[in-house]
Structure 1
Amino acid sequence: MSDRQMRKGITTGTCAAAAAKAAVLAWQGKTATKVEVISPQGTVLVAPVAESRAIAGGGIAWIIKDAGDDPDITNGVKITAEVTITDEPGVVIKAGSGVGTVTKPGLAVPVGEPAVNPGPRQMITRAVSECLPAGKGAIVTVSIPDGEKLAARTLNPILGISGGLSIIGTTGIVEPMSEEAFKNSLVPQISVVQALGYQDIVFAPGKIGQDIAINRYGLPAAAVVQTSNFIGHMLEHAVKYGMHRVLLFGHLGKIVKVSAGIFHTHNRMADARLETLAAYMAACGAPQAAVAEVLGSTTTEAAMPIIARYNLTGVYNLLAERASERAKRYVFGDLTVGTVIVTLQGDILGLDQTAREIGGHLGWNLDIESL
């Protein structure tokens, strides 16, 4: 196994700022092969310029995004800045092709504005301003070819960012394989739900659970967010945003981990799905043979027919109750939590009373009497 140090990269914000600066320099007749920009923390960052040239009234330049060793969706894309010089001081930032526009409240950028976060805005404004002659200003239009297509593979549509990608980066630097960065990219979903006036929120570990919650059971799409494997992280931030109740809605394979007090559900972090399932089955009176069969299974889906054969399906409601209790304990009682456990096909296996109450308040179309 290699112990090579992972290579850092630069954010889309750094690329946009560097492209904007190179475009101003091109307007001034200077061709830059690389430019320096300043991060919000005051760090000097250097970005190579792919191309720059003067155009009527300004300049245009682009940077090829280098994410280092991080598997960033924007790695290798072209980030372009077209700059128009004005006689009015100040820097105006606009979204060009492939850069999104904010359509929902609750994000760091107001509704109607280009999806260029505060850090990159600061970097672009500073990079352009330091090159402009006194009394001049600039309109900077940032574009990303294929940005709208790439955005479909991000959380932007869920967050209410339409038309393309976001220009992001709080430090200007991409830390390779940063789990923390991914976790933090999930959190704005909560702020959007809160800004839309919801006090109850639905946490689905994955896209399948999210689709089932919305399309099959009619839970409001605006209140359903993905947590990925970071259920504990998202619970903590639900508290920070003042949410009152959380409905955990997911597949047995994820929820059973929460029942065991596991709040980072990636299988490399902790995987006691079958052991937990077997333990709760035993608590429900399962014979030793049933416990052994479940422990010999490879997945929770494979365990379901065994549970049904031994008439132990009541274990699912118990697991839901336990998941809710463990989640509530995780945030020291600052949230009320209910849990729904579903199959991959969307059938409900189990739920607790709190889930019935939260789901009912959110207007789901579930026939409670049949469960």
Structure 2
Amino acid sequence: MRDPVTDFEYPAAWTAACRSPALLEDVRRGLAVLTASGSVLRRGFTTGTTAAAACKAAVLSLTFDTVSEVKVTLPCGITVTVPVDGYRGRASCWKDAGDYPSDVTAGLEFVAMAVPSLSGGVQFVPGEGIGSFARDTPRHRQGTAAIGEQALECILRSIDEAVEEAELCGTTVILTVPRGPEVAQKTLNPRVGIHGGISVLGTTGFVEPWDDHMTEGVLERVGRAAGRAVLTTGRLGLRYSRLLFPEREAILVGNNLAEALRVAGEDTVICGLPGLVLKFINPDVLDGTGCATVEELSATVLWKGIACRELAAFRALHPGVRVVIVDRGGRIIAESP
């Protein structure tokens, strides 16, 4: 059985040990993950998925009055049904974190207001509670809403689907997160230059229950792949790790690089985007740079010198571990000497 989200092939022993066979269908559909102990952990929905569901419900409720659920096609290609509360152009959706215990946005309400557009076309307006960038970054201009590319595509696609289903000429949708500014203080947003609210994100559309799944399953997989593992931090890192190191087994370990490296030992590759990788190597790497994020640092003249220094120091401590840092386009921007 293969996970359609991560492409991970579950060992037969895990399936045999499953304590809740009825839930294996959710695992096959990507709605849950199976762990080595046989437990099934439910994936949650990202802020991007929640926002898309609220927007779609608001538009549909212009025609159908009451809307209690909507179908959303996630960035990973899986279509899910999300509970909503939509009535006459206004809809709410509450973020479902699944079995991820540390999600500070769990239960957060997203509210969308939709009005018909007589002139046609679709307009999406990020409103109160959605953060914006306090200054220019390599990918965002100051003042733009903190909405990830995949999340925005999901939102716009969902609105377009609703316009077609509701047989409207067009619509304007305003999305707000009433408790966004309050909850954002519990996230990294203030430290990375995003103010006024939360970020709307979602590379796959799902929130992974990594806290438990990492402990029970992925570390065992890292151990089995010792000597031929590529440890990576996210979905883009996983994609590029497979392309750059086809002879090795690429394993997504998220924020758990330290634990995974202890299991993998030497002759290991770490490959990923600059943020998590350099922060893992040196949590204080941004001190004195004037940059709010490692990604911002990577676009400055300081990058080459700092990256070379940090990778050399890490290689001295871990001579058998190679580090390769890639940008979002898959280009190698730093690697171990």
| TM-score bucket (shorter structure) | 0.5 to 0.7
Between 94-103 and 8-17, the greater mean CA deviation after superposition: 94-103
- Displacement of 1:220 after TM fit? 3.5
Per-residue CA deviation, residues 176-211 of structure 1 (Å, 9 max, x unaligned), is 116745549x95759xxxxxxxxxx998855xx57x
The answer as to 2:306 corresponding to 1:246 is: yes
In 2, the alpha carbon distance for the partners of 1:82 and 1:64 equals: 15
* Aligned counterpart, 2:173: 140
CA contact (8 A) 1:99 1:144 kept: yes
**CA displacement at 1:67 relative to structure 2:** 1.0
Q: Is the 8 A contact 2:131 2:199 kept in 1?
A: yes
Tell me the CA shift for residue 109 of structure 1: 4.6
Helix, strand or coil for the counterpart of 1:167? coil
1:24 aligns to what SS in structure 2? helix
Give, in whole Å, the separation in 2 of the partners of 1:151 and 1:188: 23
State the distance in 1 between where 2:279 and 2:205 align. Answer: 32
- Equivalent residue, structure 2, for 1:342: none
Could you list the runs of 5+ residues in structure 2 that have no partner in the other structure? 1-35, 215-232, 235-253, 257-271, 325-332
Alignment of 1:330 with 2:288, yes or no, is no
Pick aligned residue for 2:126 from 83, 86, 95:
95
User: How many pairs does the alignment contain?
Assistant: 233
Relative to structure 1, is the Cα distance of residues 157 and 43 closer, same or farther in structure 2, using a 3 angstrom cutoff? same
1:153 aligns with 2:145: no
Q: Measured at CA, do residues 336 and 124 of structure 1 come closer, stay the same or move farther in structure 2, by a change above 3 Å?
A: closer
What CA deviation, in whole Å up to 9, does each residue of 1:110-147 have, x standing for no partner? 44321111112111112111222567222222222221
| Alpha-carbon distance, 1:24 to partner | 1.0
Q: Structure 2 length normalisation: TM-score?
A: 0.57
Q: Distance in 1 between matches of 2:152 and 2:74?
A: 11
C-alpha deviation, 1:166, in angstroms: 0.7
Matching residue of 1:268: none
Counterpart Cα distance in 1 of 2:47 and 2:138: 18
SS of structure 2 residue aligned to 1:13: helix
SS of structure 2 residue aligned to 1:40: coil
Deviation readout 1:24-47 (Å, 9 max, x if unpaired): 121113312111011234321110
Partner Cα separation in structure 2 for residue 116 and residue 30 of structure 1: 28
- SS of the equivalent of 1:246 reads helix
The residue that corresponds to 2:53 in the other structure is 18
User: Cα distance 1:187–1:99, how it changes in 2: closer, same or farther (>3 A)?
Assistant: farther
Listed as ranges, the gaps of 5+ residues in structure 1 are 191-200, 226-233, 250-257, 264-320, 338-371
Q: 2:98 aligns with which of 45, 68, 73?
A: 68
Matching residue of 2:87? 53
Change (3 A) 1:336 1:8: closer
Report the Cα offset of residue 73 of structure 1: 1.3
CA RMSD of aligned residues (A): 4.1
CA gap 1:205/1:88 in 2 versus in 1, 3 angstroms: farther
SS state of the match for residue 222, structure 1?
A: coil
Instruction: Decide whether the 8 Å contact of 2:48 with 2:201 is kept in 1.
Output: yes
CA contact (8 A) 1:82 1:141 kept: yes
Contact 1:66–1:76 (CA under 8 A) maintained in structure 2: yes
Distance 2:73 2:66 in 1: 20
- Cα distance in 2 for partners of 1:188, 1:167 equals 21
SS of aligned partner of 2:181: helix
Paired residue secondary structure (1:130): helix
Give % identity.
30
How many Å apart are 1:61 and its aligned residue? 0.7
How far residue 105 of structure 1 moved from its aligned partner, in angstroms, is 3.5
| Whole-angstrom CA distance in 2 between matches of 1:204 and 1:11 | 28
| Counterparts of 2:77 and 2:168, CA distance in 1 | 25
3-state secondary structure, aligned to 1:22: helix
Aligned to 2:290: 221
Tell me whether 1:120 sits opposite 2:155 in the alignment.
no
CA spacing shift, 1:204–1:42, aligned 2, 3 Å: closer
Larger Rg: 1
- SS class of match (2:41): coil
